[in-house]
Structure 1
Amino acid sequence: MKSVSRAERKRATEFLQLLDSIGIFLGDHIDPRDVEDSIPFRVDAVRLQRALFTKPSVSQHRELARMLENLSFVLSKHKKAKLACIAAEQALIIRRECYKLHPDTDCVPLATLLDRYSGRLHSDNRNEEAIGACKEAADLWGTLSTDDGNIYSEFQADSLQNLGLRFDSLQRFEDAKTAEEQGLMLRRTLYEKDPEQHRKPLLKSLENYIASLKNLGLAEETRAAREEQESLRSPSVSHENRRSRSSLGQTSGIHPSYKDYLRTSLLHGVTKANDSVAQSEHLLTLDHHPNPLSGANSGSPISTQIDVYSTWVPSSELLLVLNECSSDTSMDDSSMKLKVEQALGLARLAVSGSFTKGKRETSVKFRDVIDEIDTLFTATPKWRHHTILLRNELTRLQRVLCIGSPLGQQGDLARFLLNEALALQYHGRGQEAPKLLEEALVIQRECFRLRPGVERPRLAFHLEWHSFCLHAEQRYEEAVEMCEEELRLRRLLYEFDPEESIAPLADVLQNLGVRLNSAQRPEDAKVAEAEGLVLRRILYDAHPELHRENLVTCLKNHGITLNALGLKKESKAVRAEYRQIRALSEDGSIITA
């Protein structure tokens, strides 16, 4: 480069400042077209700054890095993800060099840039690189927070929260959980010092953490995190008033009574062995698994969502639906239907036209709001029949979101298909349910094939309800097949976590007995009911008040089956036990007239 005079350098510097100012002005302008117009000014500013690098100083390097960061920002804002990444990468090279020379001064700018760079990479679907940048940022913030108390702890918590989301997008749920746990520790410390300021960030971190725990099937940890979440939303609720997990009074392993039953049954050839697939699957090590019912319509309370959604919904119709259906039960049905249709109209508008990243995010938000309305309507008998319309819309939205999306979105589609089928079944349109259930089951089987440990309880849950709907449509043999497949999965879950899985195993055995009786197979029904009764008695002995009704139902069904088979003596003994248990009140005393 030819040498330039001091006057030329001064004029060039002034022009550079002018270009930079124009770029900043246009980039900050409200009109998106002005954001795009600012790009060439910023590019020229970067070029000119480089041209002035005859003997570059650290301050000139920092200035060039700043300009590249600004250029990356406006490129990202205008959905030019690849170009935004290139500009950020160039800025990062400069920031690293400055950090080597002046670590104290340049640590914060480097960590800030790494956080932003991670976001750019994530937008460009370069998630592995995004994870690396996010880790580096978290480490840098950690160094600063160690040196200066907690002044940078909030930034480190933000980086760890983003890191968890990056891991989650690659289905690396264990890594996501680890990152979120580290972030939660920081959030809790910050919350203790200033509850008012840090409550919302802590709630958001807990929400992400709960999602990771659910993906891993960690029921106990999920329950504890939800309790913490609820206590933050309602600080006055004491820890002592929350329900704790019930115990069966055993340390670990299969209950001795059930062991004895299985040993006796196998000696007499009563209990069928699992098929070869199920036998091989039991070698897999599983974590705790949640009760699938708890995940069917999970989500934070609607009241906590209103202030969030009101910032991006241009019309108040969705909020109107939320408020009126929760408070004004005197509203006539046609008015409520109109409100629902208005809300769904907004959702359809959100996904119309080209499906950009922004529209995808909006669609996810609309889907979540409609899911909240559906949850509320399900709990309100007067509006419950609207759930068919809502769940059909949820399924339609999720189909669009599944295009080119990871496995987690497919699992959500299976859940929405199942919920729509159950609404149809509940409202007398059961003949339409099996088709939806079959599609949901195909998706859930594929999820199970890819992640057997996480998806096994969810597949069992789908099989349970598929069997229920088939039985309601009098397709008894198909219902039996579904129930038997569920039983194989429940046995595996019980083997790895007896305390968590004993009640679902008892449920499926009871259901199988009903299905087999309907299919005119009373001998097989007797076997299933007998095994289920062993489990029901174990549960009843541990917690009579919780399991009395279920035991009574099982005894009644088993007595009917035995009587139908002509086993009068056995039937009489079961009926006597049935009458005895039924005569007991919940506190164990005999009911008197």
Structure 2
Amino acid sequence: YLDRYNTKFADSLNNVGIRLDAVGRYREALEATEEAVAIYRGLADIEPDRYNTKFAASLNNLGAYLWSVGRYREALKATEEAVAIYRGLADIEPDRYNTKFAASLNNLGTYLRSVGRYREALETTVEAATIRRGLADIEPGRYRPDLASSLDNLGVDLQRVGRYREALETTVEAATIRRGLADIEPDRHRPDLADSLNNVGIRLDAVGRYREALEAAEEAVAIYRGLADIEPDRHRPDLADSLNNLGIRLDAVGRYREALEATEEAVAIYRGLADIEPDRHNPDLANSLTSLGNCLEKAHDIEGALVARREALAVWKACSENDPQGYEARYRTEVARLSQQLTLLGRHDEAVTLGLHPPDSPTCRTNNA
């Protein structure tokens, strides 16, 4: 009787987590799912054949919610455990479990990438894409969206290891699939199409096709802007990311003032997001501030560029204090870079002071404060 009660309670908690995640209440989703995982773990310890399926599903969800709140290493750990369980299940019943196994592999690749384990991420994403391609060959209507997701991630991983042309081909395939899906069901698939277009722009830029890269970035921004007008809480982070990429693409073709405008808009959005969820959005804010500094320098606003870079450094400091393993190296790199820039400007005392005592800033916020 107790097992039956616990199972139903855990099922309810898992479902609550899914509903909360769908409306952007990530921390509450995480709390509910952590409790579900704890119950399922106890049940699976006693009867693994009966409960491992639900245990793996809840672990996979837990990884996603941990990722959503910026707890990347914990997300990786939970998802590695889910993958191990699903692998065992899929070995015995592939027809039943390959779909969920591939989904957990897809997530695992993302989390491995986020902690710099790029070759492992590539191996994992190749495995996910291979499974999903096989599924899509049998049931294209059902599995082509999943295949596109894995191909998009595979493009990221291929570029990370320097295989730029393969990365472009893979990402273009993902975008082609998603464009076809968006033509049929735009409300469902346009966000994914915009994501792929964003990535196509990055891949084209990597092989020197700058004007085509700009066209892809402009289309991505247009889609995300429309989506953010309807669902701002859901799509403003994506809009900010695409604007930041658009700024880089505009800069590459010499349209510096337009690049500055796009990047300023990205910074403004990220600043608002980081006010609410610093752990999740501070890294993006720091990256966009670095891009802003580059744009201001191109516009011959040297002081403005230094202000942006100092603020970026302060935000990286916050990230480093909150997650030393994840961000300490990046913070130190940015200290050295800004110090070098000050030296080149002849501001040697500031460069030395920066190296010895990196500044704090009121714009730097963490959830641990």
Q: Residues 267 and 289 of structure 2 are in contact (CA less than 8 Å); yes or no, is this contact kept in structure 1?
A: yes
Report the 3-state secondary structure (helix = DSSP H, G, I; strand = E; otherwise coil) of the residue aligned with 1:226: helix
Q: Does the C-alpha gap of structure 1 residues 200 and 164 become closer, same or farther in structure 2, counting only changes over 3 Å?
A: same
Scaled by the length of structure 2, what TM-score is found?
0.60
Deviations 1:61-85 (A, max 9, x none): 4223223334444565676656554
Q: 175, 178, 187: which is aligned to 2:120?
A: 178
Aligned ranges for residues 286-297 of structure 1 at < 5 Å? 294=206
Question: Normalising by the residue count of structure 1, what TM-score does the alignment of the two structures yield?
Answer: 0.40
Alignment partner of 1:194: what SS? helix
How far did residue 414 of structure 1 move? Answer: 0.4
Paired position in structure 2 for 1:337: none
Q: Which has the larger radius of gyration?
A: 1
Structure 2: tracts of 5 or more residues without a match: 178-204, 318-326, 352-369
Please tell me whether residue 362 in structure 1 is matched to residue 230 in structure 2. no
Matches within 5 A, 1:97-496: 97-123=42-68, 126-149=71-94, 151-167=96-112, 172-174=115-117, 178-192=120-134, 194=136, 196=140, 198-208=143-153, 211=156, 218=160, 220-230=162-172, 233=175, 294=206, 301-302=216-217, 305=220, 309=224, 312-314=227-229, 350=232, 358=233, 362-371=235-244, 374=247, 386-401=258-273, 404=278, 405-407=281-283, 409-422=285-298, 424=299, 430=300, 433-439=301-307, 441-442=309-310, 450-451=328-329, 478=344
* Partner deviation per Cα, 1:473-524 (whole Å, 9 max, x = no partner): xxxx956999xx9xxxxxxxxxxxxxxxxxxxxxxxxxxxxxxxxxxxxxxx
Task: Give the residue type in structure 1 aligned to 2:237.
Answer: V
Give the partner amino acid of 2:329.
R
More helix by share: 2
Amino acid at match of 1:66: D
Shift in CA distance, 89/442, structure 1 to aligned 2, threshold 3 Å: closer
The 5 Å alignment of 1:10-159 reads 56=1, 58-74=3-19, 84-123=29-68, 126-149=71-94, 151-159=96-104
SS of 2:40's equivalent in the other structure is helix
- 5+ unaligned residues in a row in structure 1: which ranges? 1-55, 236-292, 316-345, 351-357, 425-429, 468-476, 486-593
Amino acid at match of 1:312: L
Residue deviations 1:416-447 (CA, integer Å, cap 9, x gap):
3313442x3xxxxx3xx212332455478787
CA separation in 2, counterparts of 1:399 and 1:83?
Answer: 23
**Distance apart, 1:89 and its partner CA:** 3.7
Superposed CA offset, 1:162-183 (max 9, x none): 3344455xx5211x65245313
Q: Percent of pairs identical after alignment?
A: 16
1:213 and 1:222 in contact (8 A); partners too = yes
Name the amino acid aligned to 2:149.
Answer: K
- Cα RMSD, aligned residues only: 4.9
Aligned partners of 2:23 and 2:36: how far apart in 1?
A: 19
